[in-house]
Amino acid sequence: MELYKQQHIKIYNSLSGEKDNFKPINDGYVGMYVCGPTVYSNVHLGNVRTFMSFDVIFRYLKHLGYKVRYVRNITDAGHLENDADVGEDRIAKKARLEEIEPMEVVQRYTVDFHNILNTFNFLPPSIEPTATGHIIEQIELIKTIIDNGFGYEVNGSVYFDVHKYNKTNNYGILSKRKLEDLIHNTRELEGQSDKKNPQDFALWKKAEPTHIMRWPSPWSDGFPGWHLECTAMSTKYLGEHFDIHGGGMDLKFPHHECEIAQNQAAKGKTPVNYWMHANMLIMNGKKMAKSTGNFILPTEIFTGDNKNITKAFTPSVARFFMLQAHYRSILDFTNDGLLASEKGYNRLMEAIGQLQDLKTSETSTLDIQAWIQKCYDAMNDDFNTPILIANLFEGVKYINQIKEGSETISLKDLENFKNTINAFVYDILGLKNDKTNAANGTDKLSGAVQLLIKLRQEARINKDFALSDQIRDELAEAGIQLNDGKEGTTFSTN
């Protein structure tokens, strides 16, 4: 029997404001959509945290035996600066500054995104659609919204009529805002925009002559609105009504509110049963964000090359650090927090390493079955990873007690205990054992690079700069950077 028939999940649903019992639309199947990155820069650790929250949710649903279709998009057009309706496209701006094609920007940062997530041991989503690959679907959606009376065209651009929509629907249903308050708080000056009302949002924008990311449409050569792409891609692959939609807390309004409005306007139904929002990673008291410069890159964690940390940390330690907070809590990024997580992670891995040496007895003095259910209860309660980790440390205590002989465990209980620890630590939390990994590769790589660093030093002493440069450049091409410092040469990988 599938585990999900015994383990019942509750999900905090931003729509209801409560923890709701999770019941998929189709028994045994789950459709989940998560807003992906806008690929105009390297992902920072804050972005990684949000995607990690959903990686663990995906992993747990799969562990319970659900057939999950997990769709996470790539935003490669339509996302303007400041999440606004006017301004420069983020990708086009980067392309302009770097004097490269927008699609080169997209390629570079999509590859970076995949590499980073891979380093953190993420599972790939089932489908990863791009906005530019779904222009036709977006145009069709706009046509339907116009036909249903909720969209209007002005000067080649199409806007969503929020005021009209709100007469028969509730704009604000997700973010718990009221249109009257939004009107009251809007400072946009009249006459500066084609919109009927400042609260309306763009479905299609006519491209200025300088805007290079453009596609033909019935209204103008232009580009789709950012909110629209997620409605088009989620419903294309998951249907007009699906189970879970996730993203960072900062996307709840206006992005997700607009997604609900668009689907309701086009299809006459609410798109999603469970809206999930992951909370922010902060640093020095402020949200980690590219735009303010208050961020840390994953590669800086792995090399220790950032003023906010005193040493390098492995991807598993960083992952463990983030999962020690519940996904709905704000997490403060600190060096002390990472150091504490590193200790905890090492203690956990050490204990797991001792599992195979534990001696069994006729009977158990420990209630392993109750402990196993406590692990499930933690995850069933809105994916509470910190409580799960506390239970795993309870398991570490058991391991030590069995080793010392103050508690006993039967053969059958030991099998269940081992299987549960392995499932939760590796399959669900997605941790890796760094020691085993190091033995399997990292140490060997380090040894080989150290040899090359030594040869390069010798070449420099012999004034053979051609050779020393060749070693540095060819290593860089292979993704290994040499960093010359006061205390000698170190290396980092990307």
Site residues, ligand AMP (CB under 6 A): 35, 37-38, 46-47, 49-50, 247-248, 250-251, 280-281, 287-289
Lookup result for tokens 């799960």: 388
CB of 248 to ligand AMP, least distance (A): 2
In terms of CB distance, is 260 or 348 closer to Zn ion? 260
- DSSP code of residue 68: E
**What is the footprint of Zn ion within residues 29-58 (CB under 5 A)?**
35
3-state SS class at 410: strand
How far apart CA 98 and CA 110 sit, in angstroms, is 17
Which CB sits closer to Zn ion, 142 or 399? 142
Alpha-carbon span 230 to 237, nearest angstrom: 11
> CA 456 to CA 461: how far, in whole Å?
9
Closest among 179, 182, 143 to 164, alpha carbons compared: 179
Angstrom distance (rounded) from CA 372 to CA 363:
17
Q: Give the shortest CB-29-to-ligand AMP separation in angstroms.
A: 24
Residue 85 to residue 204: CA distance in whole angstroms: 10
Provide, rounded to whole angstroms, the least separation between the CB of residue 417 and ligand AMP.
34
Does the protein bind Zn ion through residue 74 (CB under 5 A)? no
Which one of Zn ion, ligand AMP, none interacts with residue 428, CB within 5 to 8 A by kind? none
Determine the Cα–Cα distance for residues 333 and 341; give it in Å rounded to an integer.
Answer: 12
Closest to Zn ion by CB, 35 vs 238, is 35
Angle in degrees, CA 243, 249, 251, rounded to 5: 80
Structure tokens at 245: 């939609």
Rank residues 72 and 472 by Cβ distance to Zn ion and give the closer one: 72
Interacting partner of 230 out of Zn ion, ligand AMP, none (Cβ under 5 to 8 A depending on kind): Zn ion
φ and ψ at 121, to 5 degrees? 65, 40
Instruction: State the nearest-atom distance from the C-beta of 246 to ligand AMP, in Å.
Output: 8
Least distance (Å) from Zn ion to the CB of residue 256? 7
* Segment interacting with Zn ion (CB under 5 A) among 9-17, 165-173, 224-232, 435-443: 224-232
Binding mask 377-416 for Zn ion (x = CB under 5 A): ----------------------------------------
For 216, other C-beta atoms within 10 Å of its C-beta total 10
Distance (Å, whole) CA 267 – CA 259: 12
- Residue nearest to ligand AMP according to CB distances in the complex: 248
49 binds, among Zn ion, ligand AMP, none (CB under 5 to 8 A by kind): ligand AMP
Q: Does 230 bind Zn ion (CB under 5 A)?
A: yes
Task: Decide: helix, strand or coil at residue 79.
Answer: coil
What is the closest distance, in whole angstroms, from the C-beta atom of residue 35 to ligand AMP in the complex?
Answer: 5
Residue 258 as a binder of Zn ion (CB under 5 A): the answer is: no
Question: What residues make contact with Zn ion under the rule CB under 5 A?
Answer: 35, 230
